[in-house]
Structure 1
């Protein structure tokens, strides 16, 4: 560090992720570049130091954003940070609309709800966090930086998820909220994004293997050929939807993924968790179905000779017949896949539940503590 750098005032910004799962991945990427963004957007004359940490694996649900702000304020004081920002995957609400972020100048902390940012959470967080830090320092009358040149309402124009700013401006308690309908739609897509459906898809690998085995066996019988020929597109679509619905229900019931309201989990939060779980599993099973369908088409083309199929159906056949055959076979094979899902590793399937947060291995807190094993 040069002499001129030592002469510059230092501001320490703590970036905390809770739970240390998806939010920690966003925080890790943001931490690497946040100091530069703060110098560019807030004040280049300050020596910005960014500390990365992680909060509770299962953050408090009953206290809402205030509980998160209080816990974060205690962490900020304990670690001697100037300001602290919390990234969380909890879906938060204010005035019955999704809450994107909230700042508290009195506590010198802010919380960002990643799901409320929608699909592009890292990009939105990159734009939001420097503004939140600047607003906190301005509201706290910190003399080390010039007052924020932007009004809080400008954040609504910079961040698509933010619709308006509410709260007590004089007290430095501001809530950045989303719109009603569009905000809720963005919140649900953001919850699915935070729940990482790709992880759920990989977790259902044995289900997919079982379904492929069932499909290969079914393709070897001419009864399924005749069924595919007899059924129309509408009935095939209904069978497919029933099969996928049954699979999602089976996964939720067999692995106890349904969130039940209790003293710690309000009804509204439990409903959002369950909706996030259903949407994640629906997307994962739909992607599994596409893989199964493509595989069944290829196996059917290799296994069933055109002349044999024509002899059974007693008419000329074309590509459409093979696609219909793969369609009915894939739909029926999802039932076999549901049975195979009972053999899945419990931890990988439960990871699809939005309210379930396994304690990750390998994450390190800035305090130097290694994350414990799974719970």
Structure 2
């Protein structure tokens, strides 16, 4: 049983898993279902999985989710298995986000093998993320699950407007003077400010900020995780757009500008280093002027950057399925 989208795609690559012992065989069925909707508490997920197992008459059931899971003590979990109830759940972001196919394959094989063994009296077994580095590993997995590089198509109108703004600004003598007058730390501040403005506007325009449903520690921690992962995802996506904008502006400046002409305006000789600085300054100015001025699209690619929005989509899908 897999959450829609990425968990389902990963689950389908695991349908050919076989046990390590040759005298056994597995018949694996993959069902896409938002079984974690409305709760990331692992006990609730396990109960829902058991209901599905009884409905489908499965011997074992394993849930794959893209959501962070926690127990009643608030600890973040990689997985929980209950051999006696033949049920397990795996949080994919807790695997760290890199080499997901191989890591999920090993984890799923271990969980299925554990549940296939004769049940013991130990009850549920939990794999808990370490307190010190576990949160950062989970955040990395959440950001990669958000696929920040897919924001570029969602920002295409803003990027085109910024490219047009940058192309015009590059041939403006006033911009040459401004770029020449700025120290490196002012250029860094301009970069940070321009990226922060676009990220902030995306959060506001897309209504991506998640608010806790209640004042419980678990709900507040959930919102903190969601909002941090969304901010990091948007920042990475905007930085990718910024890098593209910088490279295009630099190529345009190297192609169109005559160093002697620029040097005449600046009353000094101009080299390639000056064009690098000019492209840097123009990228920051165009990011703000072109990006914000054009109005940013809030399409599926941008909404997918927020776990809260994907949770909203899961709720809608579940409601439609129940209505059908």
TM-score with structure 1 setting the length = 0.78
Q: Partner residue of 2:317?
A: none
Inter-partner Cα distance in structure 1 for 2:175 and 2:118: 70
Q: Partner residue of 1:128?
A: 107
Is 1:49 aligned with 2:50?
no
Q: Partner residue of 2:17?
A: 34
Secondary structure of the 1:356 match is helix
Q: Choose which of 265, 268, 273 in structure 2 pairs with 1:320.
A: 273
Q: Partner residue of 1:163?
A: none
After the TM superposition, which of the residue ranges 97-106 and 337-346 deviates more from structure 2? 337-346
Q: Partner residue of 2:255?
A: 302
Q: Partner residue of 1:352?
A: 305
Say if 2:155 and 2:296, in contact at 8 Å, map to a contact too.
Answer: no
Q: CA RMSD in A?
A: 2.2
Q: Choose which of 95, 99, 104 in structure 1 pairs with 2:82.
A: 104
**How much does 1:205 deviate?**
1.7
Q: Partner residue of 2:97?
A: 119
Say if 2:205 and 2:298, in contact at 8 Å, map to a contact too.
Answer: no
Q: Partner residue of 1:25?
A: 9
**How much does 1:341 deviate?**
6.1
Inter-partner Cα distance in structure 2 for 1:51 and 1:182: 34
Unpaired runs of 5+ residues, structure 1, are 1-15, 142-169, 361-370
Instruction: Tell me the alpha carbon deviations over residues 143-166 of structure 1, each in whole angstroms, 9 at most, x when there is no partner.
Output: xxxxxxxxxxxxxxxxxxxxxxxx
Q: Partner residue of 1:81?
A: 58
Q: Partner residue of 1:149?
A: none
Inter-partner Cα distance in structure 2 for 1:112 and 1:337: 43
Residue correspondence of structure 1 range 270-309 to structure 2 within 5 A: 270-309=223-262
Q: Choose which of 171, 189, 197 in structure 2 pairs with 1:220.
A: 171
Q: Partner residue of 1:335?
A: 288
More strand by share: 1
Instruction: Tell me the alpha carbon deviations over residues 242-263 of structure 1, each in whole angstroms, 9 at most, x when there is no partner.
Output: 1101110010001111011114
Inter-partner Cα distance in structure 1 for 2:2 and 2:40: 17
Is 1:208 aligned with 2:159?
yes
Unpaired runs of 5+ residues, structure 2, are 315-319
**How much does 1:324 deviate?**
0.3
Q: Partner residue of 1:249?
A: 200
Say if 1:22 and 1:195, in contact at 8 Å, map to a contact too.
Answer: no
Say if 2:170 and 2:282, in contact at 8 Å, map to a contact too.
Answer: yes
More helix by share: 2
Inter-partner Cα distance in structure 1 for 2:297 and 2:96: 30
Inter-partner Cα distance in structure 2 for 1:341 and 1:185: 35
**How much does 1:193 deviate?**
1.0
Inter-partner Cα distance in structure 2 for 1:118 and 1:49: 28
Say if 1:62 and 1:266, in contact at 8 Å, map to a contact too.
Answer: no
Say if 2:149 and 2:240, in contact at 8 Å, map to a contact too.
Answer: no
**How much does 1:82 deviate?**
0.9
Inter-partner Cα distance in structure 2 for 1:123 and 1:345: 34
Secondary structure of the 2:26 match is strand
Inter-partner Cα distance in structure 1 for 2:241 and 2:139: 21
TM-score with structure 2 setting the length = 0.90
Say if 2:40 and 2:70, in contact at 8 Å, map to a contact too.
Answer: no
Inter-partner Cα distance in structure 2 for 1:317 and 1:74: 72
Q: Choose which of 185, 209, 216 in structure 2 pairs with 1:258.
A: 209
Say if 2:246 and 2:280, in contact at 8 Å, map to a contact too.
Answer: yes
Secondary structure of the 1:181 match is coil
**How much does 1:98 deviate?**
2.3
